[in-house]
Structure 1
Amino acid sequence: MRVYPDQLAKQLTPLKQCYLVFGDDPWLCETTKTLIVSQAKRDGFEETVQLNQESGFNWNELIEEWNSMSLFASRRIIELVLPQAKPGSEGSTMLQQLMKSPNPDVLLLISGPKLASEQTKSKWFKVLDTDGVYIPCTTPEGQQFSRWLQTRIRHFGLNLTPDAQQLLYNLYEGNLLAADQALQLLQLLNPNEAISSEQLSQYFEDQSRFTVFQLADVLLNNQQDKAQHILSQLQAEGVAMPILLWGQFKELTTLLQLKQAQETGGLQSLWGKLRIWDKRKSLYQNALSRLSLKQIEVMLACASKLELKLKQQGIEDWTSLSHLCLLYDPKAHHTLAHIDID
């Protein structure tokens, strides 16, 4: 059964035999595991056994722990870490065997990195998911992050003005751990007073975390302020220029193909060929409705010049890359497209 972290508290009574905590967000993973362990201890699971599937790991250890009696005659939590989220053929068999012999005095808590879709279709996962709860701990973005932030603000009993909440959103989007630490600090500094954006700016630096793919999405949606913010953060984090240029070439080449197909009436057949599924289709449709074929060609030419400058002269031209991002807005083509970035 799949349950998201913000709904987990409602699914902990009664406890299931097994909990699967997989994801790429450290804060969500740790708080989720803590919530499960806390409930388990309230239910009498007093001992904790920790196992890690490192090199040379013996799966018989898990079977022995599952079947052995506790030294103190108390119920136990077995925490199993799968660093690669892959138990292998032996581990898969062992995990399936455990579920065939349920033990009410043992709670199995398995954790690891984010699962790929094919992993959630594997036999071991399906068996454990049937008898337990799967909690995907993926970093929330956009409106999901905003809801998470508001929930944590209420949790700490803070009174933030709307502009202060927006500033926190901008500072910490994509970094739940830093955001939560910031809120804890605010609780110490201003437990009862209203907190404005001016006060926040005195306390915190920008600690948001973004990816090249997030930059692509906001550009396709023409969210220029956010795009420039993400670009500056990627530069500050030391993301290599070739990676960013790769992302731009990928998106612009895709847009060019889609635009050419749109003008010839063959757009519908191209979505599947380019592996653009429904979740992202609207992003490309937004861009196609704004940009002309000529404008997309100008942007590709701009990206090519940036690549040549990087390869031939070793220059990482972040100003011109910012210029290229602005061109996702058709209005910018009238005032910026004529500027030569050489």
Structure 2
Amino acid sequence: MRVYPDQLARQLSQLPQCCLIFGDDPWLCEQSRAVIFAEAKRQGFEEKIQLTQETGFSWNELFEQWQAMSLFSSRRIIELTLPQAKPGTEGSTMLQSLMQMDNPDVLLILTGPKLAAEQTKSKWFKVLDAKGIYVPCTTPEGAQFQRWLDGRINHYGLSMARDPREMLFALYEGNLLAADQALQLLQLLSPTAPIDCEQLSQYFEDQSRFSVFQLTDAMLSNQQDKAQHILSQLKSEGVAMPIILWSLFKELTVLLQLKAAQNNPEPLQGVWSKLRIWDKRKPIYQNALNRLELTHVETLLAGASSIELKLKQQGIEDWTGLSHISLLFDPKSHNKLAHIVLD
């Protein structure tokens, strides 16, 4: 059963046989573990065994721990870390076998990185999911991150108006760990008095974390301020420009095909399926299709190609050029700036 981190505490009154905590957000993973451990302790799970699937690891060790009696006559937690989230054939067989051997005195917790869609369809996952709960720990974005941030502000009892909340959003979007640490500090510095933007600017610096996918989504949606901010962060984090260009070319190529079909005219329904664009992402592309002409997209592709050529032939990372490309996703800016050639 899939349970999101903010719902987890409400689902543990009766602990399941196993809990699956997978995701790339360290704060959510750690918080989910802490919630489960606290409830398990309350229900008499005193002993904790930690195993890691690494070189030399034997799945028989997990089997032995499953059957062993507790040294302290208490219930036991076995936490198994799967660094690649892939138990392999032997591990898959073992995990499925253990789920057929009900043991109310053992709680199995599996942890690891984010699971791909195909991994959640594997036999071992389905068997464990049926016997327990799956907690996907994916970093919230946009409105979801704002709701998370508002919840943590309320959790720490902080008094904060809209402007400082938006400033915190810009500072820490995508970095829950740093955001929570910042709120803890604010609780110490200003436990009762209202917190304004001037205080925030004195205490904190920009620690938001973004991906190249968030950058291209912001470009497609014509969120210029956000796109420029993400681009600046990616540069400061040392993200390789070829990765950014790869994502940009990918989205522009998709947009070009959609725009060509739209101009034919050709029903887009078949094109969505052909390009494997799921429903959640259709509004992002539709926004860009409604805003941009085919010539705009072609100019964007030409500009991206020029930046790539400069990188490959001269070794120059043209971040200014990428910023210029982002502006061209706005048709008004495009009509005024497209003719400019950046050296």
TM-score normalised by L of structure 1: 0.98
User: Is the aligned partner of 1:334 residue 2:303?
Assistant: no
Aligned amino acid, residue 272 of structure 2: W
Cα offsets for 1:258-310 (capped at 9, x unmatched): 11111002233222222212121111111010000111111111112212222
Who is 2:55 aligned against?
A: 55
Who is 1:176 aligned against?
A: 176
Who is 1:288 aligned against?
A: 289
Aligned amino acid, residue 101 of structure 2: S
Who is 1:118 aligned against?
A: 118
Matched ranges for 1:227-242 at <5 A: 227-242=227-242
**Deviation of residue 62 (structure 1)?**
1.0
**Deviation of residue 224 (structure 1)?**
0.7
Cα offsets for 1:28-69 (capped at 9, x unmatched): 001100110011001111110111111121111111111111
Who is 2:21 aligned against?
A: 21
* 8 Å contact from structure 1 (residues 220, 287) kept in 2: yes
- Secondary structure at the residue paired with 1:134? strand
**Deviation of residue 197 (structure 1)?**
1.0
Who is 1:192 aligned against?
A: 192
Who is 2:298 aligned against?
A: 297
CA distance in 2, matches of 1:148, 1:330: 34
Who is 1:103 aligned against?
A: 103
**Deviation of residue 311 (structure 1)?**
2.1
Which runs of 5 or more structure 1 residues have no equivalent in the other structure? none
CA distance in 1, matches of 2:196, 2:217: 30
**Deviation of residue 206 (structure 1)?**
0.4
Who is 1:139 aligned against?
A: 139
CA distance in 2, matches of 1:279, 1:300: 25
**Deviation of residue 219 (structure 1)?**
0.9
CA distance in 1, matches of 2:189, 2:113: 35
- Secondary structure at the residue paired with 2:71? coil
CA distance in 2, matches of 1:313, 1:90: 50
- Secondary structure at the residue paired with 1:7? helix
* 8 Å contact from structure 1 (residues 159, 193) kept in 2: yes
User: Is the aligned partner of 1:318 residue 2:314?
Assistant: no
- Secondary structure at the residue paired with 2:206? coil
* 8 Å contact from structure 1 (residues 70, 76) kept in 2: yes
**Deviation of residue 144 (structure 1)?**
0.6
Who is 1:42 aligned against?
A: 42
- Secondary structure at the residue paired with 2:269? coil
- Secondary structure at the residue paired with 1:206? coil
CA distance in 1, matches of 2:236, 2:216: 18
**Deviation of residue 334 (structure 1)?**
2.3
**Deviation of residue 252 (structure 1)?**
1.4
CA distance in 2, matches of 1:96, 1:141: 34
* 8 Å contact from structure 1 (residues 305, 341) kept in 2: no
Matched ranges for 1:61-80 at <5 A: 61-80=61-80
Moved more, 109-118 or 264-273: 264-273
* 8 Å contact from structure 1 (residues 302, 341) kept in 2: no
Who is 1:277 aligned against?
A: 278
- Secondary structure at the residue paired with 1:269? helix
**Deviation of residue 164 (structure 1)?**
0.5
The count of aligned residue pairs is: 342
**Deviation of residue 336 (structure 1)?**
0.9
Aligned amino acid, residue 329 of structure 1: D
Which runs of 5 or more structure 2 residues have no equivalent in the other structure? none
Moved more, 330-339 or 307-316: 307-316
Aligned amino acid, residue 243 of structure 1: I
State the identity %.
Answer: 70
- Secondary structure at the residue paired with 1:282? helix
Aligned amino acid, residue 312 of structure 2: K
